[in-house]
Structure 1
Amino acid sequence: MSGLETRQLRYFVAVAEERHFGRAAERLGMAQPPLSRAIRDLERQLGVQLLIRTTRQVTLTSAGETLLADARVALDAVAAAEHRARHAGRPVPTLRLALKADYDAGLLPKIIDAYRTLPVELLLGGHGEQVPALRDGRADVALLPTPFDERGLDTEPLVTGPRLVALAAADPLAARTTVRLADLAGRRLPDGTPAETGRTQQPPANWRSRLDLSQIFNLVEVGNIVWFLPDWVARRFPRPNIAYRPVDGLEPTTLAVAWPAESRSPAVAAFVRTVKEIADTSFDDESSAAGQPAVR
């Protein structure tokens, strides 16, 4: 029996994640019939059933669940090998830092100024895009808030603070000094999740938020959504039509630096040391000025 091909794994992962052949075909940019044939050929090649097909949905067998987990790892490894080889062949090496804009707790300018090992190339992305960038080799290191999938990554916490809820100033809850998660019933987060859940779990693997901060703030202002955000983001964006309130029962968030566990890069190690020193100094100074202990 011949070995599996990356093309087969990509096809299978698309179907397994979408749970629908039509959506998977659209995602892959191909017609549905050849995709269906490719999955049937894959099942014959492996000698196991991977999917249970009905007229309304596609579900995974236990063999399919196992292949999905391993296929994601394999595809990430292939992509990482490609990206890292191309990056290593550049005439001027850089350290690629993945982060979401304005989620650096104000540390980024100090980090860039203090880190001297390599030029820093910023890879700005939406929520949830930093971990895939680390896994597939597009980024060497990332700054990102918890929670996130830490499998295969090494991490260091930098600062921990409460998450607040951003409400329209006209929302009746804005008159309170604090709210409970149960009070948010009927309201939605930017990805459509019911706000009262607090969304303390990680979003689905194939979810990506395409809204930037200005779009989210505009939707909050008109009362279409509410939004949970770290207090360090709220402090940077005071807006007259938005109220930020503490939420009882909402888990705090930690800004962390993360990098692939298999990394042996001296440049990454130097970056992590620099980030830790900057965070320790910055939040010690900030807390001393406020007369409060730093939370890390």
Structure 2
Amino acid sequence: MDVVETRELAYFLAVARELHFGRAAEGLGIAQPPLSRAIGRLERRLGVRLLERTSRRVTLTPAGETLLAEGGAALDAVAAAVRRTRRAGAAGPRLVLAMKPGGDGGGLLPEILAAYEREPDALPVEMLFGYGAADALRDGRADAALLYAPRQDVTGLATEELMEERQVVVVARGHRLAGRAEVSMADLEGEVLPRRPHAAGPGDGPVIGDGGQLMQLIALGRMVAVLPESMRGLLREDLTAVPVRDAEPTTLVLAWAEASRSRALAAFVRSTAAVAAASTASHLR
């Protein structure tokens, strides 16, 4: 079988998603005849028919459905590899660490960075903040990410578990639950909980993509949020946190691409794991 070109694969995905050559060609910014020729070449390379074409409609064959399901991930992996390669070969190489706002490793991040700087293979660390930290890792914008599982999806990523945290509900100081020693998930019935992009978990309120927005809405009494306990130290004065006794603990993990062979990244993983292990041991004494 001949090697499949990424451009041909991208052209096929455009047609497969639109099921219309004209719209796909317009979206790609090319004329329809070269698009049709590219799909034909791809089918000849693979030795299978991907699309059934009539004068009235375009449909996917079983082979086309398979390539649609798996081809996007393949293109994404190539794009991620290109981004990482360019960053590694840049005049000033760096290691990009992604995390959600406030997700600073349970307060361990300063120690992690200090330990990493002592590694001979260390690179300067650049922070990338956002709720899509796992996506930034998958698409190559980041080399590593601090994530909270199971709320954030770590499927297909290499991970190192760092610490387990119980969860708290963050509420305004005047909220009906603010004075409690602890609450249960049942106590939150009727409360508006945020939904976050790229994350699983309870929530029927608006999608929140920014930490400042979340805290402001909580302070206004518009919602409450169940968060890792380490967020306590980052709360505004008009907010408070109450332990949720029956909330499933959340696990802070360091995640990275399974295929990575970067010595700088390996050094970061070692440093992070060592700091987390030392912190856990000190709390057990």
Instruction: Tell me if TM exceeds 0.5.
Output: yes
Q: Which residue of 2 aligns with 1:258?
A: 255
Q: Which residue of 1 aligns with 2:201?
A: 199
Q: Is the 8 A contact 2:133 2:147 kept in 1?
A: yes
Q: For the structure 1 residues 188 and 138, does the alpha-carbon distance in structure 2 shift closer, same or farther, using more than 3 Å as the test? A: same
Q: Which has the larger radius of gyration?
A: 2
Distance across 1 between alignment mates of 2:89 and 2:236: 46
In the TM superposition, 1:240-259 aligns within 5 A as 240-259=237-256
The alpha-carbon deviation at position 219 of structure 1 amounts to: 0.7
1:131-154 deviations in Å (ceiling 9; x for gaps): 222222222211111123223211
Structure 1: which amino acid aligns with 2:156?
G
Distance across 2 between alignment mates of 1:150 and 1:192: 16
Distance across 2 between alignment mates of 1:249 and 1:270: 37
Distance across 1 between alignment mates of 2:130 and 2:276: 23
In the TM superposition, 1:227-242 aligns within 5 A as 227-234=225-232, 236-242=233-239
Structure 2: which amino acid aligns with 1:218?
Q
Distance across 1 between alignment mates of 2:99 and 2:10: 28
Q: Which residue of 2 aligns with 1:137?
A: 140
Distance across 2 between alignment mates of 1:61 and 1:179: 54
The alpha-carbon deviation at position 242 of structure 1 amounts to: 2.0
Structure 2: which amino acid aligns with 1:210?
G
Q: Which residue of 2 aligns with 1:55?
A: none
The alpha-carbon deviation at position 253 of structure 1 amounts to: 0.8
Q: Normalization by structure 1: what TM-score? A: 0.69
Q: For the structure 1 residues 216 and 209, does the alpha-carbon distance in structure 2 shift closer, same or farther, using more than 3 Å as the test? A: closer
The alpha-carbon deviation at position 224 of structure 1 amounts to: 0.6
The alpha-carbon deviation at position 48 of structure 1 amounts to: 6.1
Q: For the structure 1 residues 264 and 119, does the alpha-carbon distance in structure 2 shift closer, same or farther, using more than 3 Å as the test? A: closer
Residue among 143, 161, 164 paired with 2:165: 161
Q: Which residue of 2 aligns with 1:110?
A: 111
Q: Which residue of 2 aligns with 1:267?
A: 264
CA-based RMSD of the aligned residues comes to: 3.9
Q: Is the 8 A contact 1:93 1:118 kept in 2?
A: no
1:124-175 deviations in Å (ceiling 9; x for gaps): 2322x22222222222211111123223211111111111111122222224
Q: For the structure 1 residues 68 and 248, does the alpha-carbon distance in structure 2 shift closer, same or farther, using more than 3 Å as the test? A: farther
Distance across 2 between alignment mates of 1:63 and 1:168: 55
Structure 2: which amino acid aligns with 1:155?
T
User: Percent identity among equivalent residues?
Assistant: 39
Q: Which residue of 2 aligns with 1:20?
A: none
1:243 counterpart SS class: strand
How many residue pairs get aligned? The number is 250
Q: Is the 8 A contact 2:50 2:62 kept in 1?
A: no
The alpha-carbon deviation at position 274 of structure 1 amounts to: 0.5
Residue among 111, 121, 127 paired with 2:125: 121
Structure 2 unaligned blocks of 5 or more = 44-48, 54-59
The alpha-carbon deviation at position 8 of structure 1 amounts to: 4.2
Q: Is the 8 A contact 1:94 1:120 kept in 2?
A: yes
Q: Normalization by structure 2: what TM-score? A: 0.72
Q: Is the 8 A contact 1:200 1:251 kept in 2?
A: no
2:277 counterpart SS class: helix
* Farther off after superposition, 129-138 or 219-228: 129-138
Q: For the structure 1 residues 47 and 64, does the alpha-carbon distance in structure 2 shift closer, same or farther, using more than 3 Å as the test? A: closer
Q: Which residue of 2 aligns with 1:90?
A: 90
Q: Which residue of 1 aligns with 2:76?
A: 76
Structure 1: which amino acid aligns with 2:139?
D
